[in-house]
């Protein structure tokens, strides 16, 4: 392993070394601070005067503690969009001054933020003409960082330079966030309406070396109610009239959303010495009631990765899984590393993590990645090449599993990932007809002194439902090279 420090220690080190000033700035909307400059004059007519008088009274009361101040917001929400029938899930961020919104894959399998960028020097990029791009010259808060940026995913690569700007996400703002200004990507890494990716794993695997946005919030005392992020991902893979963009679920930071799960959250610790992914040990798996033999220890470390569509595992395990499915066979050819099986087979697959006795079911709908032209189903479990000698964990558990649970990524005490049973409210969101969420720029932050730096807090940011369709895309933080290779061949 590249790094064997415990994650809690790494978080501490990153706090000490951070160059981001992380003073909390109360926003105007919280009621704690109303900028003096806004009170330009006392309004003239009675109605305006009454409104002003009430506001002024509330302000003075809050200022001097006469009334209970509005509670400080310490958690946030980002509504997700499901792209291409559960291929990926994105949220939105707003970057720069004035803020511009961008759709980004929310990826717990990597740790860098990057955006497709238009610069005078950038060469033309095939297939990226319609991608909304960040333009540093139109942001007054952009700062140059004279360093290159490059990142390699299983599904492709992105290259460019580093820069800094103000970033808003889920109602929080970090000034001076370092991120990649990407001018080159491999084909199909991005397609409209996506502009980039926000990594939600730990700083020690960040290619940029920068503290990830979420970790800056965690490292700043008093910012979040709890040091965690949570996902509920909606399922459209088995909905025949689904659109390429559908409501994708809910991302919460700082607090879980108790309307989305029932029972307890079963937290299991990331194993000691694991690198900066969100890793759990996969300790149990069964298919059609038969147990699948698994390696122990590091050989069963699984990255819990919202940025990967399916589930990647060493070839022996995948073979063993499909040995339990009658009529299955290696897909071969363009689908090398995948298996097909009769779509009529109902699959009962269950997994367990860490020391927990809980077994989580992967629905038969999710076990099938896609129906092929010959009518067979392509399984969502695929073979990953051996990762020995790298920090990449041998198993990657993506959305195929995560759609079946409420998942919580907790940064400390100790670092762990928790799963809970989806509530009936959450289950009812699967396949639900409805508009995709729209981006929201936090207007209240415009009242914050532009020289104040650090984290500030506003109303929840939400995301984009730009109507353009996409070409089959599977962006992933970890390893989905096989997935990307087959994507254009699938029957979208
Ligand atoms: C980056 O390089 C440019 C041109 O060489 C220089 O003007 C600028 O000050 C440098 N910025 C930083 C932050 O070092
Ligand atoms: C909790 O989830 C529900 C269902 O998606 C959503 O309507 C609500 O806004 C969420 N609340 C918070 C505080 O995240
Ligand atoms: C299981 O629990 C033991 C004792 O609490 C602990 O040492 C071990 O790391 C745990 N294993 C996993 C995979 O979480
Ligand atoms: C999709 O799959 C889920 C989980 O197996 C199931 O509950 C739901 O009824 C399916 N929806 C459709 C439209 O088939």
Tens digit of pLDDT per residue, the chain (492 long)? 332 222 222 222 222 222 222 222 222 222 222 222 222 233 345 555 555 555 554 544 444 444 344 446 599 999 999 999 999 999 999 999 999 999 999 999 999 999 999 865 545 555 566 788 999 999 999 999 999 999 998 778 999 999 999 999 999 999 999 999 999 888 878 888 999 999 999 999 999 999 999 999 999 999 999 999 999 999 999 999 999 999 999 999 999 999 999 999 999 999 998 889 999 999 999 999 999 999 999 999 999 999 999 999 999 999 999 999 999 999 999 899 999 999 999 999 999 999 999 999 999 999 999 899 899 999 999 999 886 667 789 999 999 999 999 999 999 989 999 999 999 999 999 999 889 998 877 654 422 222 334 455 443 333 322 222 222 222 233 323 223 322 322 221
pLDDT at 120: 54
CA of 413 to the centre of ligand 3 (A): 15
Q: Does the annotation count 366 as an active-site position?
A: no
Could you tell me if residue 53 is inside a domain? no
Q: Are residues 420 and 478 in the same domain?
A: no
Contact between 170 and 206 under an 8 Å Cβ cutoff? The reply is no
Of 425, 448, 472, the residue that ends a domain is 425
Strand order in the sheet with 335-341: 329-332, 335-341, 377-379, 368-371
Q: Are residues 380 and 400 in the same domain?
A: yes
Q: Are residues 388 and 443 in the same domain?
A: no
Determine if ligand 2 sits within 6 Å of the CB of residue 78. no
Q: Are residues 99 and 232 in the same domain?
A: yes
CA of 299 to the centre of ligand 1 (A): 45
Q: Omega of the bond prior to 193 within 30 degrees of 0, cis?
A: yes
pLDDT at 428: 98
Q: Are residues 90 and 203 in the same domain?
A: yes
Q: State how far the Cα of 333 lies from the Cα of 179, in Å rounded to an integer.
A: 38
pLDDT at 22: 27
Q: Are residues 27 and 87 in the same domain?
A: yes
User: Which residues, judged by CB distance below 6 Å to any ligand atom, belong to the binding site of ligand 3?
Assistant: 268-269, 271, 281, 354-355
Q: Are residues 26 and 102 in the same domain?
A: yes
DSSP state, residue 86: T
pLDDT at 15: 24
Q: Are residues 330 and 223 in the same domain?
A: no
Considering every ligand atom shown, identify the ligand nearest to the alpha carbon of residue 258 and give its number.
Answer: 2
Could you tell me if residue 54 is inside a domain? no
Atom index in ligand 3 nearest the CA of residue 280 equals 13
Q: Which two tokens stand for residue 472?
A: 């089959």
pLDDT at 73: 55
% helix / strand / coil in the chain, to the nearest 5? 20, 35, 50
Q: Which domain holds residue 17?
A: 7-45+72-255+434-485
Q: Are residues 196 and 138 in the same domain?
A: yes
Q: Does the annotation count 433 as an active-site position?
A: no
Of 386, 408, 425, the residue that ends a domain is 425
Q: Which two tokens stand for residue 52?
A: 């002003």
Q: What is the CATH number of the domain that holds 316?
A: 2.40.70.10
pLDDT at 155: 77
Tally of structural domains, the chain: 2
Token pair 């109605």 is found at 47
Q: Give the mutation target among 6, 269, 279, 299 for probing the ligand 3 site: most ligand atoms within 8 A of CB.
A: 269
Q: Are residues 28 and 166 in the same domain?
A: yes
CA of 345 to the centre of ligand 4 (A): 14
pLDDT at 391: 76
CA of 78 to the centre of ligand 4 (A): 25
Q: State how far the Cα of 406 lies from the Cα of 418, in Å rounded to an integer.
A: 8
Catalytic residue among 112, 266, 305, 399: 305
Strands 194-199 and 100-107: parallel
Of 378, 394, 425, the residue that ends a domain is 425
Ligand 3: which residue has its CA nearest to atom 9?
271
Catalytic residue among 82, 86, 107, 266: 107
Q: Are residues 304 and 370 in the same domain?
A: yes
pLDDT at 392: 86
Q: Are residues 40 and 122 in the same domain?
A: yes
């Amino acid at each position: 392993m590249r790094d064997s420090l415990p994650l809690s220690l790494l978080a501490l080190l990153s706090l000490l070394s951070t160059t981001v000033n992380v003073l909390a700035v109360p926003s105007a909307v919280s009621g704690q601070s109303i900028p003096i400059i806004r009170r330009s004059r006392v309004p003239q007519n009675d109605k305006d005067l009454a409104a002003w008088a009430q506001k002024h009274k509330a302000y003075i009361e809050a200022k001097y503690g006469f009334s209970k101040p509005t509670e400080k917001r310490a958690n946030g929400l980002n509504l997700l969009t499901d792209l291409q029938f559960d291929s990926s899930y994105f949220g939105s961020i707003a970057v720069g001054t004035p803020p511009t919104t961008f759709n980004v894959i929310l990826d717990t399998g990597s740790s860098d933020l990057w955006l497709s960028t238009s610069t005078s020097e950038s060469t033309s990029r095939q297939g990226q003409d319609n991608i909304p791009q960040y333009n540093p010259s139109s942001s007054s808060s952009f700062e140059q960082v004279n360093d290159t940026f490059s990142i390699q995913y299983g599904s492709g690569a992105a290259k460019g330079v580093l820069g800094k700007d103000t970033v808003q996400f889920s109602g929080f703002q970090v000034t001076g966030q370092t991120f990649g200004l990407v001018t080159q990507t491999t084909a199909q890494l991005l397609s409209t309406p996506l502009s980039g990716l926000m990594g939600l794993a730990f700083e020690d695997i960040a290619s940029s070396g920068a503290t990830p946005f979420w970790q800056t919030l965690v490292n700043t005392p008093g910012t979040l109610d709890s040091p965690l992020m949570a996902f509920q991902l909606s399922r459209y893979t088995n909905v025949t009239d689904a659109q390429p963009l559908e409501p994708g679920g809910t991302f919460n930071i700082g607090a879980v959303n108790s309307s989305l799960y029932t029972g307890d959250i079963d937290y299991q610790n990331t194993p000691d010495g694991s690198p900066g992914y969100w890793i759990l040990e996969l300790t149990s798996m069964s298919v059609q009631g038969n147990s699948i033999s698994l390696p122990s220890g590091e050989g069963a470390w699984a990255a819990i990765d919202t940025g990967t569509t399916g589930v990647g595992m060493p070839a022996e395990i995948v073979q063993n899984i499909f040995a339990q499915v009658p009529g299955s066979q290696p897909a071969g050819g363009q689908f090398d590393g995948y298996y097909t099986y009769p779509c009529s087979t109902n699959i009962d697959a269950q997994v367990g993590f860490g020391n927990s006795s809980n077994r989580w079911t992967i629905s038969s709908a999710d076990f099938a990645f896609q129906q092929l032209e010959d009518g067979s189903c392509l399984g969502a479990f695929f073979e990953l090449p051996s990762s020995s000698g790298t920090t990449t964990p041998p198993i990657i558990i993506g959305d195929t599993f995560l759609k079946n649970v409420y998942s919580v990524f907790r940064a400390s005490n100790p670092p762990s990932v928790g799963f809970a049973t989806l509530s009936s409210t959450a289950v009812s969101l699967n396949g639900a007809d409805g508009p995709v969420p729209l981006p929201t720029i936090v207007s209240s932050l415009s009242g914050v002194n532009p020289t104040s730096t650090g984290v500030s807090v506003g109303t929840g940011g939400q995301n984009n439902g730009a109507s353009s369709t996409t070409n089959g895309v599977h962006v992933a933080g970890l390893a989905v090279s096989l997935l990307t290779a087959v994507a254009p061949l699938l029957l979208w």
